[in-house]
Amino acid sequence: MRRERAPFAIVLLAAAGAAFFVLPLLGLVVRTPWGDAPRELLSPAALDALRLSLVASVSATALALLLGVPLAWLYARVDFPGRSLLRALTTLPMVLPPVVGGVALLLAFGRRGLIGAWLLSVGISLPFSTAAVVMAETFVAMPFLVLTVEAGLRSMDRRYEDAARTLGAGRWRVFWRVTVPLIAPSLAAGAVLCWARALGEFGATITFAGNFPGVTQTMPLAVYLLLESDQQASYVLSLVLLAISVAVLAGLRHRWLGTA
């Protein structure tokens, strides 16, 4: 890279921009009661939220893989009418306010929702259940997986698939034995990204799934609610989520962070 003398104004604004991100993180690290951290983390309320968050976010990621990979494959490989519209609709949650997603889920799967009313008639009530948490998280996080996997499928070398076909492998076998291994890095990156987004989900969860410890109160909900009653615990849980985010970013650094 060519060395350049930066204009003073740009350096000043860039420094302000950087400080804007670094200061809040610093605040969290400085205000966290490190001595009490282990005790706060091992409190039943925190453990409940941790356990639920892990179960729900891993389930959401599994569901996103199950449904999202086929969707990504269709987007990348099949030219069907309405593809771009459908693609836009299924990636909308990336920019949609999560609380709006929660309201929408309620109107579809709530007890009086489009499908929810029918579900209720066969004895299934989703609101206030862990299943609702998984659905809210999947709704918000799956687009990250779909887009990542679709990009992987588009950029892979399709000659390997052609070769496998020529050698007599069926379509399903080619998909499993050739396509999936080739897009493994995209699959992994998409899954991690999806999981991290699911783990942080708040708005859609509290709207659609409600809030009850151990059932629907995930880490972000606990962080928000503890701020009212037990700030120290709230800071510690925040820090755990921060650490996870840092780990995710570090794990995916080759994908996004160019080596300077």
**Among residues 91, 125, 232, 245, the one that binds another protein under rule CB under 8 A:** 125
Q: Count the residues of the shown chain that bind another protein, applying the rule CB under 8 A.
A: 21
Residue carrying structure tokens 């629907």: 216
The residue from 73, 212, 244, 252 that contacts another protein (CB under 8 A) is 212
Distances, alpha carbon 153 to alpha carbons 14, 26, 51, 134, 220, in Å: 37, 39, 34, 26, 33
Query: Which is closer to another protein, CB of 211 or CB of 245?
Result: 211
d(CA 256, CA 260): 12
- The reply to whether 112 sits near another protein by the rule CB under 8 A is yes
Stretch that binds another protein, among 22-30, 34-42, 125-133, 185-193 (CB under 8 A): 125-133
Q: Which of 45, 64, 153, 206 binds another protein (CB under 8 A)?
A: 206
- Our CB check for another protein shows the closer of 111 and 177 to be 111
Minimum CB separation of residue 208 from another protein in Å reads 9
Which residue type occupies 240?
V
Q: Kindly state whether residue 106 participates in binding another protein, applying the rule CB under 8 A.
A: yes
Residue 130 binding another protein, by CB under 8 A: no
User: DSSP E strands: which ranges in the chain?
Assistant: none
Of 96, 111, 131, 244, the residue at the interface with another protein (CB under 8 A) is 111
Cα Rg, the chain, nearest whole Å = 22
Q: Does 229 bind another protein (CB under 8 A)?
A: yes
Question: 36 or 210: whose CB is closer to another protein?
Answer: 210
**Nearest alpha carbon to residue 61 among 148, 172, 175:** 148
Under DSSP, is residue 152 helix (H, G, I), strand (E, B) or coil?
A: helix
Q: Per CB under 8 A, does 219 bind another protein?
A: no
Say which residue the tokens 């972000």 belong to: 220
The residue (of 199 and 209) whose beta carbon lies closer to another protein is: 209
| 108 lies in the site for another protein, by CB under 8 A | no
Which burial class, exposed, middle or buried, applies to 229 when counting CB atoms under 10 A from its CB (0-12, 13-18, 19+)?
Answer: exposed
Q: Considering the complex, what minimum distance in angstroms separates the CB of residue 106 from another protein? A: 7
Q: List all residues 6 or more positions away from 171 whose beta carbon is below 8 Å from its beta carbon.
A: 165
Q: What proportions of the chain, in percent to the nearest 5, are helix, strand and coil?
A: 75, 0, 25
- Residues within the interface to another protein (CB under 8 A): 106, 110-112, 125, 127-128, 206, 209-213, 215-217, 225, 227-229, 231
